[in-house]
Structure 1
Amino acid sequence: MSLVLTAFVANMILGCFQPGDTISDKTAKYEFAATPSWQDEFDYSGKPNPQKWNYDLGDHGWGNNELQNYTDKIENAKVEDGHLIIEAIKGKSGKANYSSARLVSKGKGDFLYGKFEIRAKLPKGRGTWPAIWMLASENNYGNKGWPDNGEIDIMEHVGFDQNKIHGNIHTKAFNHSIGTNKGNNVIIETVSDEFHTYSCEWTPESVKILLDGKDYFTFSKEAGYDWAQWPFDKPFHLILNIAVGGNWGGQKGVDDSIFPRKMEIDYVRVYPLVEKK
């Protein structure tokens, strides 16, 4: 069985809304199930659960001139005391001078629509670039890569702008590389001192980004949109990572005195979309 088909069958068993299910026209109202269909509560110790998470690996800059090497080592990603800890460390790793981790649910958690909740405490310091985000699990559109198949940024933070949280979407028509990015940000002073809940509510009509239950950015599907504006009708997967430096995170340099720096995640929960009766 193919990876995509395996993920599809698994999600159908879990009750996620998937291709082939039907939702009525744009007048329909949507809601999310009260119980998650996919989650990680991090109530264990050691490496992240291999039944839920893969690793992206490498030191090639990740399209953003990032400075870290992503590894699968336990010092960069571990579960302890009820939390997932992703840690960026100063030190030679591959061709890079920093190491970190980038966890992905692709093939083990692929979702079409739903409510995504991640409770996290973020790193602090110039040069850090943590993110909680989503990419398409398949390449169906355009040039078969980014940004044609879409990106949803549930949370991005850059350490040189400590009190600001960003939520964005990227598509072929709307992305930062051509100056048409769609997104917003919100000011909050305790992102590195307290846990906050970062959420996305994704339906066939819109992508909504929330912080602690309050929405601050909504991108809606408008009449006439095709895949270039709205590729958000295919399965996506979750990504959790800390980058170091890069085109955005490194705009004001990297303060080497801050390392190591970590992002702590209390839980990840995905609630499937259901049609409101």
Structure 2
Amino acid sequence: MRLNYLLLLILLLNACHGVPTSVNGHNFIQKTGRTAEKKWTLVWQDNFDKQHLDTTKWTMIPPGKADWGKHMSNNPSCFRFDNGYIYLRGINNPDTTTDHRPFLTGGIYTKGKFAFQYGKIEIRAKLEGARGAWPAMWMLAEKNKYGEYPKNGEIDIMEHLNFDSIVYQTTHSYYTLNLKQENNPPHSGRAAINKNDFNIFGLKWFPDKLVFTVNGTETFTYPRVAGVDPSQWPYDQPFYIMIDQQLGGNWVGKVAPDQLPVQMIVDWVRVYQ
């Protein structure tokens, strides 16, 4: 009886602090009504304080066939480094004799150089507006654990269209795209931004949920759901980072050449675990 009373007293005392307790080999965790934010440790970053791209961390994104990548280029005019910022630019192609594309865009990714699984990522950037501008910050799986795209999923930390005062934060996967399960659970949210200033776009990634943020405020959560097709949660593997100033496409619409150049100005990228 006295032992049981002692156990109860210790648990009640620790309940105010939410700390683990061990008594006579038995482990207890008494939680408070509010779960505290975990303490994050910085594990990777780039402050873009060099006058060139740090190629130990990043690669310029090559052209691709998809809407988002069809104007990607390593043309120096698509990149600028100044005063601790990288400018990823969408421009009118200055020379269409060798490259017939009307527009060129700059983007960088960490593919093959850095990927992480679970943790927090934050990116501070300013988004300029133009008709057809489509800057994005997103993540793809480093390996094809489940097969070809979209089976390994896609995490869109931020996408911005034209002159909008909101951004889109989205997940894509076989579950959402092929099985059309866009609302079980909802796979996308919108968040307001400071349109004419820098914002911090973020993601907190846990084994059971993706929590999107803007300027430190949680804006949208995509949870892992039990009892549905396993393709709903491919987010159990390392992902790499992509940041790019895209132009044009079915979603954002046509580009206005007279409104170019347009830029995404990135201050820093930080990853915590």
Structure ID, larger Rg: 2
Q: Distance in 2 between matches of 1:155 and 1:166?
A: 6
Look up the match of 1:174. Answer: 176
Higher mean displacement: 78-87 or 198-207: 78-87
Structure 1 CA distance, aligned partners of 2:179 and 2:248? 18
Question: Following TM superposition, by how much is the alpha carbon of 1:179 offset from its aligned partner in structure 2, in angstroms?
Answer: 7.0
Give distance in 2, aligned partners of 1:31 and 1:96.
47
Q: Which residue of 1 aligns with 2:166?
A: 164
Equivalent of 2:90, from 88, 91, 115?
A: 88
**Identity percentage of aligned residues:** 32
Distance 2:210 2:241 in 1: 15
In the alignment, what sits opposite 2:227?
Answer: 224
Which residue is equivalent to 1:246? 249
> Aligned-pair distance for 1:45?
1.0
Return 5+ residue gaps in structure 1 as ranges: 1-27, 273-277
Mapped partners of 1:105, 1:30: distance in 2: 31
Match of 2:216 in 1: 213
TM-score, normalised to structure 1, is 0.78
Shift of 1:71: 1.5
Q: Distance in 2 between matches of 1:152 and 1:43?
A: 27
Kindly indicate whether residue 41 of structure 2 is the aligned counterpart of residue 35 of structure 1: yes
Q: Give the direction of change, closer, same or farther, for the CA distance of 1:220–1:33 in structure 2 (3 Å limit).
A: same
Tell me the residue number matched to 2:109.
Answer: 104
Using CA pairs below 8 Å that are at least 6 residues apart, which structure has the higher relative contact order? 1
1:135-150 alignment, distance < 5 Å: 135-141=140-146, 144-150=147-153
Q: 1:225, CA displacement in angstroms?
A: 4.5
For residues 39 and 45 of structure 2, the distance between their equivalents in structure 1, rounded to whole angstroms, comes to 13
Aligned length: 234
Q: What is the root-mean-square deviation of aligned Cα atoms in Å?
A: 2.3
Unmatched runs of 5 consecutive residues or more in structure 2: 1-30
Q: Is contact 1:186–1:216 with CA below 8 Å preserved after alignment?
A: yes
Q: Which amino acid aligns with 1:116?
A: I
Q: 1:226 to 1:30 in 2, by over 3 A?
A: farther
Corresponding residue SS for 2:176? coil
2:59 counterpart (54, 58, 61): 54
* Secondary structure of 1:110's aligned partner: coil
Q: In structure 2, do the counterparts of structure 1 residues 165 and 233 end up closer, same or farther at CA, with 3 Å as the change threshold?
A: same
1:140 and 1:149 in contact (8 A); partners too = yes
Please report the TM-score for the alignment, with normalisation by the length of structure 2: 0.79
The CA deviation string for residues 147-188 of structure 1, in whole angstroms up to 9 with x for no partner, is: 11100010000105x111110001111139947271110233
* 1:134 counterpart residue number: 139
